[in-house]
Amino acid sequence: SHHHFLLGNLFVFFQSHGDCMLFSLYYTVSETLSFTSLKISQIGSYSKKNVCFIMFLDELTLTTLSSEGHIPDENGSIGLWRIVVVKNLPYKDMRRAGKVPKLLAHRLFPSALYSIWLDSKLRLHADPMLIIEYFLWRKKAEYAISVHYDRTCVWEEVLQNKRLNKYNHTAIDEQFYFYQSDGLVKFNASGHDPVLPSYVPEGSFIVRAHTPMSNLFSCLWFNEVNRFTSRDQLSFAYTYLKLRRMNAGRNFQLNMFKDCERRAVAKLFHHRANGTTDPPPKNLRTDKNHSSMPS
């Protein structure tokens, strides 16, 4: 039998020919498909005018939705959302399939300048432009992700994954031993060069500009998910170390913020529903050189 499974939302911000569009990727299926994850009232007039929302569903979920009265209109939309029915998913494991939109938004939407990933368990009631402004432009960052609220070391993350039986233990060990053999060491906050505030991210919320380094990091991260387990919190730190090793001279503007900041911001935005009325401030953009990937 088919289990409906909600993987998350992806907002992709496009800017081309002066027109901005925003896409939401509501990838595949859910137990409780909810259209309330972003209410029209919470979208500012700028986004409302320039933005387009897309929801990706599988056929069975579309059938379920329709039976619940959510029937696409003549233009294939349900409310704000343009419906795209996906077929031939690349993996049988839905958690792995979900990493495609999560990590490869820039490949799915090659002309998008920004994307926001929100896991299905999260409800960030906010205008996506506010999120991009807060986490990227204001911090001059190209990639924003929160640190894990509890764990800082991959060693702890491995133990926790096993404790909760999140994945085949043998497969986790294979991945973990490989990382150690390729230079991953324990997180040491008092070390001389703490490259990251934490080695474990909370991967449920990612905001990024589709810059060359951000795209490269995302591709490298996806490679780990494809090669080893789909538990992407295990591979984040290794991916970062690998990126640094491969691109010693290049800057990667990573904003690893505290998880409480995301929650505070979600609350703050909740009360500023229609706050975004202006186009993005040009001086705060990090996308000036939106060109090809570094070689």
Ligand X SMILES: *[C@@H]1O[C@H](CO)[C@@H](O)[C@H](O)[C@H]1NC(C)=O
Residues interacting with ligand X, by CB under 6 A? 73-75, 168, 170-171, 174, 188, 190-192, 274-275, 277, 288-289
DSSP string, 176-204: HHHHHHTT-----TTSS---SS-S-EEEE
Nearer to ligand X, 36 or 291 (CB): 291
Q: Minimum CB separation from ligand X for residue 77, in Å?
A: 7
Distance CA 185, CA 16 (A): 43
Nearer to ligand X, 189 or 248 (CB): 189
> What is the dihedral sign for C-alpha 24, 25, 29, 31?
negative
Q: Minimum CB separation from ligand X for residue 186, in Å?
A: 6
Nearer to ligand X, 68 or 73 (CB): 73
Distance CA 49, CA 277 (A): 10
Nearer to ligand X, 191 or 294 (CB): 191
Q: Minimum CB separation from ligand X for residue 172, in Å?
A: 9
Instruction: Note the residue count of the chain.
Output: 295
> What is the dihedral sign for C-alpha 164, 167, 171, 177?
negative
Nearer to ligand X, 210 or 262 (CB): 210
Nearer to ligand X, 160 or 253 (CB): 253
Distance CA 235, CA 216 (A): 15
Joined together, the tokens standing for residue 185 give 């060491």
Q: CA-CA-CA-CA torsion for 112, 74, 50, 59, nearest 10 degrees?
A: -30
Task: Detail the DSSP E strand segments found in the chain.
Answer: 8-16, 19-26, 53-57, 77-78, 81-85, 112-119, 143-147, 201-209, 254-257
Q: Minimum CB separation from ligand X for residue 284, in Å?
A: 13
Joined together, the tokens standing for residue 14 give 């496009």
- Dmax (CA) for the chain in angstroms is 60
Q: Minimum CB separation from ligand X for residue 132, in Å?
A: 18
Q: Minimum CB separation from ligand X for residue 174, in Å?
A: 6
Joined together, the tokens standing for residue 244 give 């640094």
Q: Minimum CB separation from ligand X for residue 275, in Å?
A: 6
Residue in the block written with tokens 């309330």:
36
Distance CA 258, CA 208 (A): 16
Nearer to ligand X, 101 or 275 (CB): 275
Question: Backbone phi, then psi, for 10, in 5-degree steps?
Answer: -130, 125
Nearer to ligand X, 88 or 289 (CB): 289
Q: Minimum CB separation from ligand X for residue 159, in Å?
A: 16
For strands 8-16 and 112-119, give the pairing.
Answer: antiparallel
